[in-house]
Structure 1
Amino acid sequence: MRRPAIVIVTFKRQGLLAGLLESILGLTVAPWRVVVVDNENSHETARIVGEFSGRARALWGDTTDDLDAEGGADRVVYDPMGENTGGSGGFSEGVRRAHELGAEWFWVMDDDVAVEPDGLETLARWSEEAQAVMGLRRDFDDGHFFWQHRFWPRLAIYNPLSRDGWRPGERYKLCNALCFEGGFFSREVVDQIGLPDARFFIYLDDALYGYLASKVTPVYYVPDYVLSRRREVANQAVGSVRQLNSTSDMTRYYITRNRGYLARYFMLHGDYSAPGFALGTLLTFAKELCRILIVDRSHLVSGMRRLVAGHCEARRILHDPTWEPMPPLR
């Protein structure tokens, strides 16, 4: 595996970011680059990244034997943004910057995780047979984190019937989604499908990116833990492995609004169904109502207002004659 870049997006969580960077220093395989996109443009974040850069140089040295496209050798790249572009904008910028530098692989993650010591080494093995890989994650309590690895384009929702267990001898599952909390993909994929779509701001941008990746290459979901989540989130267990996590009213807006962007991409690939999309919207409202009533008990009125506002914006996006998809890079 040549030139693996870790792309991190951070915003006002310096303590968590410091923990993630500390875990990266424990990797058994050194990353070629670590690109930190700072949506806050904070002096404190710059200081933390600068300190990490010094420790990384002392541990691994510069990349003088493999210069980037600009002729640089710094292993750590700090990329402050002029405004908060959300996770979507941050990952779009981070992948763009790493791609511009010459990265061949991209391991993307938020600031509230920690990598497993052999995480990059494990992904490197999978890179020998797959162009896009999603590994397992541990939850903040060190238990297994359930991830729905299949998406239903016709309904524009995650498949609620996705199974979590692994059969004996099952090396991987094919999926049509990714998560930007540990997703791993090649330069070839980025070249063919373009950068992550910054217009999502937050939510569903990674599901879409995995969907687009699955159109050009098999996307593997593998039974190897590569990182763990480090931020505790209020939740309610649903069955033996699933859980319903708390969320904010802001996120609720993007949960329904970004369905409009999904629909536009699904139309391009012949996977859009108007009746299915309407049913998926109804199911989305039902799920979010359950989340409000069961987990976020004090947000009924404000939460429903944000869901409706997002839905109205999704309808506008669905009929916007000026909309264009993200272009491929080649």
Structure 2
Amino acid sequence: MTDKGPSERIAAVVVTHDRPKLLLECLASLIAQSRPLDAILIIDNASEMSTREALHAAGFTDSGGKDSTLTYCAPGRPAIQIRYLRLEENTGGSGGFKRGMELGYNSGFDWLWLMDDDSEPELRALELLLAGGDTTPGSETLLLASKVINEKGETLRLCRGWFDKELVKHNPLPESDYRLETTFVGYATFVGFLVSRRGIAVTGYPDEGFFILYDDLDYSLRLARHGKLLLVNSSVVVHKELMRSAQGAPAADWKRYYRLRNRIFCAKRHGGKTLPIIVLFAKLFLNELTRARNAGAGRKGAHLRLTVKAYFDGIFGYWGKRVEPGSC
């Protein structure tokens, strides 16, 4: 274990879309970190004007414009650079994180800490993350990951785990592994995801073709080809909306399309033998047929058409934003 060296520069990358209240809460928790960040890079995925207005009112941008860089000075805190960039088109989480990582890497930062806008790291999350892993140049550890919990304090186990190449499935980390100080993992979601400059250099950036969902699994598996991914359990990040959406109504059809298409694509890209992949495809299709039968009278046909589209696009590699968010 090593402490942060004086030359290590760390920036948080936060991707947001039309959630100004949650974004401000996320930024407040990042600014309050016991180990101060050197910068925060905010990538705005074509949000409505309310996001820009909220950021400007809080002093995080120098104007209501689409591109801003300033030095923010909170009372009693070190100065921190805040860069805000609004994209002209909603590129999804994958496109947003790709753009943010490009900015961070090209700006010379040593580590980038990825966050959704509904994430809130605990006060010492970054300090403990750095203390728990080897951050020396040349280390095999390319990623340090925080433990992710919900607002009730329950561990969100799906956020960290291992990918079974032979069975073509991702398995959440067992509860016992969260009782260890640190443990290696096979994948981590883009929440409390601290990736090194060397990791980015050998892996590249997230594949923006995913748009949303499974982009972090894909990136983790690509990153793991070059080094190790370490979970530090003392470092904790609260993920708010993930819990709320899990407890609410079923996912919107447009999200279901991306989940199905991208899972099929990940199976093709990272799976092992052909037979388990075929079995997975058949199982997923049967699940969707069951959902279609249980859908309302006016939605069965649309459900099946979207399922077929997801399969076709995933198998034949039709990539990018193929279904507009909120359209179904």
Relative to the length of structure 2, the TM-score reads 0.79
Q: 1:72-111 alignment to 2 at 5 Å?
A: 75-111=81-117
Task: Show the counterpart of 1:194.
Answer: 204
Aligned with residue 137 of structure 1, among 125, 148, 171: 148
Counterparts of 1:141 and 1:305, CA distance in 2: 38
| Bigger mean CA offset, 148-157 vs 297-306 | 297-306
Structure-2 separation of matches of 1:177 and 1:292: 31
Decide whether the 8 Å contact of 1:135 with 1:182 is kept in 2.
yes
Secondary structure of the structure 2 residue equivalent to 1:279:
helix
Which structure 1 residue ranges, 5 or more long, are not aligned?
Answer: 64-74, 237-243, 321-330
User: For the structure 1 residues 44 and 234, does the alpha-carbon distance in structure 2 shift closer, same or farther, using more than 3 Å as the test?
Assistant: closer
Tell me which residue corresponds to 2:168: 156
Pick aligned residue for 1:57 from 49, 73, 95: 73
- What is the alpha-carbon distance in structure 2 between the residues aligned to residue 292 and residue 179 of structure 1? 29
* Conserved? CA contact 1:41–1:82, under 8 Å: no
CA contact (8 A) 1:178 1:211 kept: no
Secondary structure of the corresponding residue to residue 189 of structure 1: helix
Amino acid at match of 2:25: G
**TM-aligned CA deviation for residue 250 of structure 1:** 1.2
| Secondary structure of the structure 1 residue equivalent to 2:153 | coil
Residue number in structure 1 paired with 2:272: 272
Distance in 1 (CA, whole Å) between partners of 2:251 and 2:246 is 9
Distance 2:266 2:233 in 1: 28
Displacement, 1:49? 3.1
Asked if the contact 1:152/1:158 (under 8 Å) is kept, the reply is yes
Measure how far apart 1:52 and its partner are: 4.5
What secondary structure sits across from 1:114 in the alignment? strand
The TM-score normalised by the length of structure 1 is 0.78
Query: In 2 relative to 1, CA 80–248 (structure 1 residues): closer, same or farther, beyond 3 Å?
Result: same
2:316 corresponds to which residue? 316
CA deviation string 1:239-267 (max 9, x = no partner): xxxxx98422112111221235424543x
Q: Sequence identity of aligned pairs in percent?
A: 24
Which residue in the other structure is 1:239 paired with?
none
2:263 matched residue in structure 1 = 259
For residues 219-246 of structure 1, give each alpha carbon's deviation from its aligned partner in whole angstroms, at most 9, with x where no partner exists: 112322421022252446xxxxxxx984
Deviation of 1:44 after TM superposition, in Å, equals 2.9
- Which of 119, 139, 148 is residue 125 of structure 2 equivalent to? 119
Q: How does 1:294-313 map to 2 (within 5 A)?
A: 302-313=302-313
- The Cα offsets for residues 1-43 of structure 1, whole Å up to 9 and x where unpaired, read as 3111100000011111111112223211111110000002443
Is the CA contact 2:167–2:276 (under 8 Å) kept in the aligned structure 1?
yes
- Segments of 5+ residues of structure 2 without an aligned counterpart are 62-70, 136-140, 320-328
Contact 1:8-1:109 at 8 Å conserved across structures: yes
**8 Å Cα contact 1:233-1:245 kept in structure 2:** no
> Which residue is 1:249 aligned to?
253
CA contact (8 A) 1:114 1:228 kept: yes
State the 1:172 CA deviation: 2.5
Higher mean C-alpha deviation, range 207-216 or range 17-26:
17-26
Q: Distance in 1 between matches of 2:283 and 2:210?
A: 20
Query: Aligned partners of 1:264, 1:223: CA distance in 2, in Å?
Result: 32
How far residue 94 of structure 1 moved from its aligned partner, in angstroms, is: 0.6
How far is 1:101 from its partner?
1.1
Distance of aligned partners of 1:40 and 1:151 in 2 relative to their CA distance in 1, 3 Å threshold: same
SS at 1:227 equivalent: strand
**Alignment check: 8 A CA contact 2:132 2:182 kept:** no
Q: Distance in 1 between matches of 2:145 and 2:293?
A: 32
